[in-house]
A and B are shown apart, each in its own frame.
Chain A
Amino acid sequence: MKVLTVSGSPHYHAKESVSSLMYGVIFSLIPAMLVSFYFFGLPAILITLTAVVSCMFFEFIIQKYLIKGPITIFDGSAIITGVLLAFNVPANLPLGLMVIGSAVAIGMGKMTFGGLGKNPFNPALVGRVFLMISFPVQMTMYPEPSAFTTQLTDVLTGPTPLTALKDGVTQGVPVSEIMAQLPDYGRLLLGNMGGSVGEVSAIAILLGGIYMLIKKIISWHIPVAFIGSAALFAALFWLINPEVYPDPVFQILTGGLMLGAIYMATDYTTSPMAPWGMIIFGVGCGLLTMIIRFFGAYPEGVAFSILIMNAFVPLINRGLKPKRFGEEVNNG
């Protein structure tokens, strides 16, 4: 008689797999990548390639020689970590530092906890914060955007809008005067400003985010809560004192807020599981970002705020459960 497979139901399985989701995220990053290649030229391409190759390399080495388990470097997750890490550094960061950053992101951020799905903190942000603390000078030399540049050395650098703001406000310059020196909102939206490789173009990141929402790769909860709460908080302070606090539109369009809200905070492994948990997580990220921007020593707070909220995820998951069917019934 024929040998039949016997297994528990269901007997259908959705087409989605871990790698199809990961490559979906990578595909959605293409607009942001193209914009950064346009504004920051060859250095941006080199830094992105270096990060991706290094992340895959370190994951391979660790899986082969330390864990001695299956090699999963093509599942797409290491590629995402590489791309996002590169997106979070200045385009002209020395490539050697990028390699070190990748080793930290993959080794310390991901593999040390057991690899894919086990890490409590966003690996790319672990890498970025490590670089920022260890190499603060190189990590704050932001090149001025210039179309299709192939220049690799002696690049003109300048402050990001957020650094300029922080410096100005600290010296007591009114916001309106600082803003006059900064690119207008149209330029900020496109990404024509100093900043990390992939964070500059709000519009390109938004495009990627919309793609991921349509493809149901991410849900709206975290990005909306993150950006919304940051905007509300910023608006509150702006209404109180517009000479010290710029308007919320500026806050959203500058720094890593869009990249953080749409790509970094939505990382599956390091964000909550239930809808309300996701919203609380997003609100936490948004508020912490603005608190650091307004009152902290750093001009930018996205990376720290997400990492801090990552640490709260197990508690959030414990406390905020999805709405159970038939739990609190009101059939009146």
Chain B
Amino acid sequence: MGGVHPPENKLAEKQAIERLEPPKSVAIPLAQHLGVPAEPVVSRGDQVKTGQLIAKGEAFISAHIHSSVSGKVKKIDAVTDASGYRKKAIIIDVEGDEWEEGIDRDEGLQKQCDLDAKEILEKIHNAGIVGLGGATFPSHVKLNVPRGKKAEYLIINGVECEPCLTADHRLMLEKGEEILVGVQLQMKALGVKKAIVGIEQNKPDAIQHFTKLAKDYEGISVQALEVKYPQGAEKQLIKALINREVPSGKLPIEVGCVVHNVGTAFAVYEAVQKNKPLIDRVVTVSGSSVKKPSNFMVRIGTPVSALIEAAGGLPEDTGKVINGGPMMGKALNDLEVPVTKGTSGILIFTENEASRPVEQNCIRCARCVTICPMGLEPYLLAPLAEKQRLEECEDERIMDCMECGSCLYICPSAKPLLDHIRVGKTRVGKMIRERSA
């Protein structure tokens, strides 16, 4: 159902992942995940080691946070993050790179694991792993199937349908075995027998590589998927792989699925097999004007400006810098914001690429209706949201919108459909909460 075909522009797909050295100072936000922010367990002046727990996420939906560097806690203060808001972060001045004991830094593949499901879950929880595809939902919560539900499939998202981004693609090529071990660990934690890795057909090398590797892993199969956006959206991916529709307002577990990104599977591998908490991730830096489109393995908390510098510096004619992909990413107004667990890419647009076409009257061409992957009617929702007719918005299922941006992308009149729908969703969400309160 639906979908669009934006230009892929995967400029960095041939660039091997490059490890970036820790910067002089990092800012590690306490809210890098969906849910309750973590509580700091260090204070100003403390010495910390790389991989040391610095903030605890004890709430039901929260995640632990570890220091990505070694050094001294300078302060705990509000810094601007990618959302544009100022949020609390632990700022650490880097001194050397001394790692916490017990972390196995050897690159060798570690396949064997004798832990049981509970112990694996515990390790995932302790490592502060969240969904690295962008939604940053705490992984241990997802892997802990609620009572009364049963997981049947573990679905591994290697779709990377956002244009420009190549982080998952490179990780699949370079850390294929590790990812598959991670998948196996997650299967064990969930108690499922079947896992499917979904990869878009525009990554034939990754499909080939994984198909070959997966032969040695029982229960894991690889499936090539049609190239279209948003093929990698959770509900769309489940539909494409096993033809089940997650009911409106429900989670994938409703149809017996748990979905994890390939990056998350790699993080699980590192946490369980190497005792390494989530302190770094792959970030694509790309754009038509970028000198050296790259994929970097970056420590969490590194300022975005350091990544841009490593990719050849900020081009003269830059008009926009985006945190994430071009379809769902957020435009930044400050290049000192830190890389967080959810940062998949930093995109640089030229001045010409930075602005939207001029808005015109809606001609009711029905393109937004045809392409909406959720079967909604953006042409109708946007004006309803604009006029704050919230009950009608709710009836027209505004809350089903996942903000993929396809409607605004395709609109020949360049109507700001998603802008209005997004604001409408916030208002309808508030209305629903107040009603049930």
A327 to B400, CA, bound (A): 10
CB distance from A232 to the nearest CB of B (A): 25
Flag A2-34 by CB within 8 Å of B: 1 or 0 each. 101111111111101110110000000000000
Q: Indicate whether B326 reaches chain A with its CB closer than 8 angstroms.
A: yes
CB distance from B144 to the nearest CB of A (A): 23
Chain B interface residue bracket vs A: 35 or more
**B319 adjacent to A5 (CB under 8 Å):** yes
In the complex, what residues of A have CB within 8 A of residue B331's CB?
Answer: 4-9, 11
| A9 touches which of B318, B327, B411 (Cβ 8 Å) | B327
CB distance from A103 to the nearest CB of B (A): 21
Q: Indicate whether A115 reaches chain B with its CB closer than 8 angstroms.
A: yes
A11 to B404, CA, bound (A): 11
A117 to B239, CA, bound (A): 35
**B379 adjacent to A273 (CB under 8 Å):** yes
Provided the pairs A6-B332, A17-B357 are in contact, do residues A325 and B374 lie with their beta carbons within 8 angstroms? yes
**B332 adjacent to A2 (CB under 8 Å):** no
Can you report 8 residue pairs joining A to B where beta carbons are below 8 Å apart? A4-B319, A6-B331, A9-B403, A10-B326, A11-B347, A11-B353, A14-B409, A21-B365
> For residues 147 through 206 of chain B, which have their beta carbon under 8 Å from a beta carbon of chain A?
163
A16 to B4, CA, bound (A): 12
| A322 touches which of B250, B372, B418 (Cβ 8 Å) | B372
Question: Is chain B's binding surface mostly helix, strand, loop or mixed?
Answer: loop
**B405 adjacent to A9 (CB under 8 Å):** yes
Q: Indicate whether A268 reaches chain B with its CB closer than 8 angstroms.
A: yes
CB distance from B165 to the nearest CB of A (A): 13
Q: Indicate whether B412 reaches chain A with its CB closer than 8 angstroms.
A: yes
**A325 adjacent to B248 (CB under 8 Å):** yes
In the complex, what residues of B have CB within 8 A of residue A326's CB?
Answer: 235, 245-248, 250, 374, 400
In order of increasing CB-CB distance, the 10 nearest A-B pairs are A10-B405, A117-B361, A324-B375, A5-B354, A117-B363, A268-B365, A326-B248, A6-B331, A325-B374, A331-B244
CB distance from A10 to the nearest CB of B (A): 3
In the complex, what residues of B have CB within 8 A of residue A77's CB?
Answer: 363
Q: Indicate whether B118 reaches chain A with its CB closer than 8 angstroms.
A: no
| B326 touches which of A11, A117, A323 (Cβ 8 Å) | A11
Q: Indicate whether B419 reaches chain A with its CB closer than 8 angstroms.
A: yes
CB distance from A12 to the nearest CB of B (A): 5
Q: Indicate whether B364 reaches chain A with its CB closer than 8 angstroms.
A: yes
**A10 adjacent to B379 (CB under 8 Å):** no
**A4 adjacent to B414 (CB under 8 Å):** no
Pick from A10, A72, A278 the residue with the most CB of B within 10 Å: A10
A4 to B321, CA, bound (A): 7
Pick from A11, A115, A326 the residue with the most CB of B within 10 Å: A11
**B361 adjacent to A268 (CB under 8 Å):** no
**B361 adjacent to A115 (CB under 8 Å):** yes
Q: Indicate whether A138 reaches chain B with its CB closer than 8 angstroms.
A: no
Provided the pairs A117-B363, A326-B245 are in contact, do residues A10 and B327 lie with their beta carbons within 8 angstroms? yes
In the complex, what residues of B have CB within 8 A of residue A322's CB?
Answer: 369, 372, 375-377
**B330 adjacent to A325 (CB under 8 Å):** no
Chain A interface residue bracket vs B: 35 or more
**A5 adjacent to B357 (CB under 8 Å):** no
A6 to B331, CA, bound (A): 5
**A13 adjacent to B357 (CB under 8 Å):** yes
A278 to B364, CA, bound (A): 12
Q: Indicate whether A116 reaches chain B with its CB closer than 8 angstroms.
A: yes
Q: Indicate whether A321 reaches chain B with its CB closer than 8 angstroms.
A: yes
**B320 adjacent to A13 (CB under 8 Å):** no
Provided the pairs A12-B163, A274-B369 are in contact, do residues A324 and B376 lie with their beta carbons within 8 angstroms? yes
Q: Looking across the interface, which residue of chain A has its beta carbon closest to that of B244?
A: A331
**A11 adjacent to B327 (CB under 8 Å):** yes
> For residues 319 through 367 of chain B, which have their beta carbon under 8 Å from a beta carbon of chain A?
319-322, 324, 326-333, 347, 349, 353-357, 360-366
CB distance from B427 to the nearest CB of A (A): 16
Q: Looking across the interface, which residue of chain B has its beta carbon closest to that of A114?
A: B361
> For residues 1 through 55 of chain B, which have their beta carbon under 8 Å from a beta carbon of chain A?
1, 4, 6-7
Flag A49-73 by CB within 8 Å of B: 1 or 0 each. 0000000000000000000000010
In the complex, what residues of B have CB within 8 A of residue A6's CB?
Answer: 84, 320, 331-333
Q: Looking across the interface, which residue of chain A has its beta carbon closest to that of B410?
A: A14
**A21 adjacent to B412 (CB under 8 Å):** yes
Provided the pairs A6-B332, A10-B328, A269-B363 are in contact, do residues A327 and B248 lie with their beta carbons within 8 angstroms? yes
**A10 adjacent to B408 (CB under 8 Å):** yes
> For residues 372 through 428 of chain B, which have their beta carbon under 8 Å from a beta carbon of chain A?
372-377, 379-380, 397, 400, 403, 405-406, 408-414, 416, 418-419, 422
**B332 adjacent to A4 (CB under 8 Å):** yes
CB distance from A1 to the nearest CB of B (A): 8
Flag B246-285 by CB within 8 Å of A: 1 or 0 each. 1110100001000000000000000000000000000000
Q: Indicate whether B80 reaches chain A with its CB closer than 8 angstroms.
A: no
A325 to B375, CA, bound (A): 5
A278 to B370, CA, bound (A): 12
**B4 adjacent to A14 (CB under 8 Å):** yes
Q: Indicate whether B213 reaches chain A with its CB closer than 8 angstroms.
A: no
In the complex, what residues of A have CB within 8 A of residue B369's CB?
Answer: 273-274, 322
Q: Indicate whether A163 reaches chain B with its CB closer than 8 angstroms.
A: no
Q: Indicate whether A118 reaches chain B with its CB closer than 8 angstroms.
A: yes
**A329 adjacent to B245 (CB under 8 Å):** yes
> For residues 299 through 332 of chain A, which have their beta carbon under 8 Å from a beta carbon of chain B?
321-327, 329, 331
Pick from B314, B354, B360, B418 the residue with the most CB of A within 10 Å: B360
**B318 adjacent to A12 (CB under 8 Å):** no
CB distance from A5 to the nearest CB of B (A): 4
**A13 adjacent to B409 (CB under 8 Å):** yes
> For residues 206 through 223 of chain B, which have their beta carbon under 8 Å from a beta carbon of chain A?
none
**A10 adjacent to B377 (CB under 8 Å):** no
Q: Indicate whether A219 reaches chain B with its CB closer than 8 angstroms.
A: yes
**A8 adjacent to B366 (CB under 8 Å):** no
Flag A117-130 by CB within 8 Å of B: 1 or 0 each. 11000000000000
